[in-house]
Amino acid sequence: MRKISNLSCVAALFLLIPLAGCSNEPALSDIQRTLEVVAASSQEQAPDTASGADQAAPSAEESVAATEAEGGDGTEADALPASLDEVAASNEESPAPPLPGDGTRHPSDFLDSYRVTARFAVTSTLVDGALSVEQVDAGGIWRRADNEHGYNAVFTIVNTIGDLPEELVYVLLDDHAAVKIDGQWTTLDRYENDLLGDPNSLFEMPYMAQLTSAMYVGEETMIGVPTFHYQLTNPAQFVAMMGNLLGGQDSTVADVTLDGWVAQEGYVVRYELVADIDGALNLGQLGASQASHQTIAISYGLAGLNSAEEIVWPEDAPAPGVLAVPGFGEGEFPIPEGAATTPGLGMIEIQTGMSESETYEFYATELAAHGWEIDGEYGVYTATRDGHTLNLLVRPSDTGAVIEIYTVGQ
């Protein structure tokens, strides 16, 4: 069973890298469906050090405990406030110490490196008692670097639906990028293929920028970093923070607890969220929408502040700039003379100076010579060999023809 409510978009916004939002490439699998997040930039200079760098980050298992779904009291949520400021003003506790700027900031505005781990888990209980469980685990490293982008990064995302995990790994290192999908590496020119977006957006949710509108609890130290602790338990305030991302007019946030720890500089060091939602829409086995009760648990934590490991090119990935095609060794994939290749995520675009029919004939002949079987018509073809599958799309262009070769997601 797959959710069709906007809560699926919440998961994507929170944990999935903005791949599709930054390119013209088609999404090739569930884990690649993403929403574009616009990251705020800062001109602040990073401090020399941050304390507590030798303390380990809380694991995803420690950060997010298994949570049983709890029903609400059956009452409607309070009317939404006219603004978040009104909600913040209604808190009886003293206001929090002021933070620099408006809302929270990115850790990369102040740190030279850090490690991050996070988990998003949603358990849906359908009207017939059936359970649907989805979980996304993510973690990685961000390091400031002297290159055009200003950073290098490596992140791994594992999306699990039931007992079927799907893994995405990406490495951004100076001029090059490597992406691993379905166990297959693709190498990209980072400067010509700006597909991956800034990892600052990897873990963002709307409420992160508005944590300081929640109730101020006090000053606490997390991983050696002095922080301001904020807490939110008001469902109406949470709905206001989330805006239109909580789907279904009939859905109700029955219960919520959000704790956030914000460094004095303004970046989020850790947060934990557990929310119970009644009336969320799900797609049943017969394809009909049905209401369900959902329990959402999210955690996020930093570690290794200014002491995260160096980022290196993965040993099992092709060398930077090498064209990787399943079923072919390095440098073996046939390329027409004078053609221009542009690797993408799970695909390769080849611009030829030949006509559409000549381009097809070239690849039909070359692939057959390598033992591939080709089937299809009208510009759409499938090539198979030894368990490998390539989907080929041939179309005319202003200077000849383009063939797009899709290598994953089959």
Q: For residue 20, give the 3-state DSSP assignment.
A: helix
φ, ψ of residue 210 in degrees (nearest 5): -120, 20
Chain centroid offset of residue 169 CA: 11
pLDDT along the chain (410 residues), means of 10: 33 33 29 28 33 36 33 35 44 51 77 94 83 88 92 91 81 89 81 58 64 85 94 86 63 88 91 87 59 86 95 90 82 89 82 93 93 92 91 92 78
Residue carrying structure tokens 């009760």: 293
Q: In what order do the strands lie in the sheet with 373-377?
A: 340-344, 347-352, 400-406, 388-397, 380-385, 373-377
Which pLDDT score, from 0 to 100, does residue 380 have?
A: 94
Tell me the C-alpha distance between 298 and 4, whole Å: 19
DSSP assignment, residue 341? E
Q: What is the pLDDT of residue 53?
A: 35
DSSP-assigned letter for residue 267: B
Q: List 117's β-bridge partners, or say none.
A: 139, 301
Whole-model pTM? 0.68
Q: 373-377 and 380-385 as β-strands: parallel, antiparallel, unpaired?
A: antiparallel
Query: Rounded distance, CA 260 to CA 215, Å?
Result: 10
Tell me which H or E stretch contains 343: strand 340-344
pLDDT of residue 381: 94
Residue ranges with strand state E in 175-328: 176-181, 184-189, 215-222, 225-232, 252-263, 268-283, 289-303
